[in-house]
Amino acid sequence: MADVDVIHEEAEQPQQTILVIEDEKSISQLVRLYLEQAGFRVVSAADGPSGLGLHTREQPALVILDLMLPGLDGWEVCRRIRQQGNTPVLMLTARQTEEDRIQGLDLGADDYVTKPFSPRELVSRVRAILRRATPATTEEPNAVLQYPGLSIYPAARRVEAQGQPVTLTAKEFDLLLLFARTPNTVFTREELLSRIWGYDYLGDSRTVDVHIGTLRKKIEQNPAQPRFIKTLYRVGYLFDPTAAQNGGGDA
Ligand code: CA
């Protein structure tokens, strides 16, 4: 599905994806070049909101994150990535005061590289972080998520509701996966827009309601009384994994 080149040959080991969020094109290209030579698949974004969108869609093994970014700065992007899970973050920045370093690590960044940097060193830091992260994170991203009456297969992007396969659009699937991976967490419409649609759609929060509506029709037994995707009036939406069986109505 992704319009990114992937090497299919010699796939003894699945290729790990690195997300690079950096607005300076020359740096982004340099980092991509070195990472690809090292055998990684690279996806990149040039601003915070689209970086977060890619993080949700691609579930990268690691994020290389510039600090000074248009849209949302690196601190905020790091904070939101942390809300979604434990994807390792390597911060890349021109700043180098002790205070910045500490703030980055406080927000959950795993490492910190200051510009100018050696691309080779960057790659070896990436490898070191991945080695540390591997035991905890490798099998989780594609683990099947199962609830009474709902199964989500992330790797195949397939969903079954009440035992029957349902066809979701790409956005509906991304929404559902984000919800299911961060259960019992309230998302505002604006957060959902920036994570799933990226910055292009900011300001049009009706889009979210429409997609939630169609998603509910496909996965909920009774879309008028949703069990999984709950509405918090004037706040947003959350995913309820306990999904009490009694919401069906016409049994
Ligand atoms: Ca920058």
pTM, 2 dp: 0.51
Q: Ligand 1: distance of its center to the CA of 7 in Å?
A: 29
Q: What is the CATH number of domain 145-246?
A: 1.10.10.10
Q: For 76-90, what is each residue's pLDDT tens digit?
A: 999 899 888 888 899
User: How would residue 189 be classed by pLDDT, with cut points 50, 70 and 90?
Assistant: confident
Question: Distance between CA 68 and CA 73 in Å, rounded?
Answer: 5
Question: Distance between CA 89 and CA 62 in Å, rounded?
Answer: 6
What's the first-to-final CA gap in the chain, in angstroms?
38
Q: Ligand 1: distance of its center to the CA of 117 in Å?
A: 14
Q: Are 100 and 79 in contact (CB under 8 A)?
A: no
User: Does 17-133 match 145-246 in CATH topology?
Assistant: no
Q: Ligand 1: distance of its center to the CA of 74 in Å?
A: 9
CA atoms within 13 A on the CB side of 5: 5
pLDDT at 104: 60
User: How would residue 250 be classed by pLDDT, with cut points 50, 70 and 90?
Assistant: very low
Q: Ligand 1: distance of its center to the CA of 95 in Å?
A: 10
Least confident residue range of 17-31, 88-102, 125-139: 125-139
The average pLDDT across 206-225 equals: 92
> How do the domains of the chain map onto residue ranges?
17-133, 145-246
Q: Ligand 1: distance of its center to the CA of 49 in Å?
A: 14
Q: Ligand 1: distance of its center to the CA of 28 in Å?
A: 10
Q: Ligand 1: distance of its center to the CA of 182 in Å?
A: 29
Q: Which CATH architecture has domain 17-133?
A: 3-Layer(aba) Sandwich (3.40)
- Coarse DSSP helix, strand, coil percentages of the chain, rounded to the nearest 5 percent: 40, 20, 40
User: How would residue 98 be classed by pLDDT, with cut points 50, 70 and 90?
Assistant: low
User: How would residue 192 be classed by pLDDT, with cut points 50, 70 and 90?
Assistant: confident
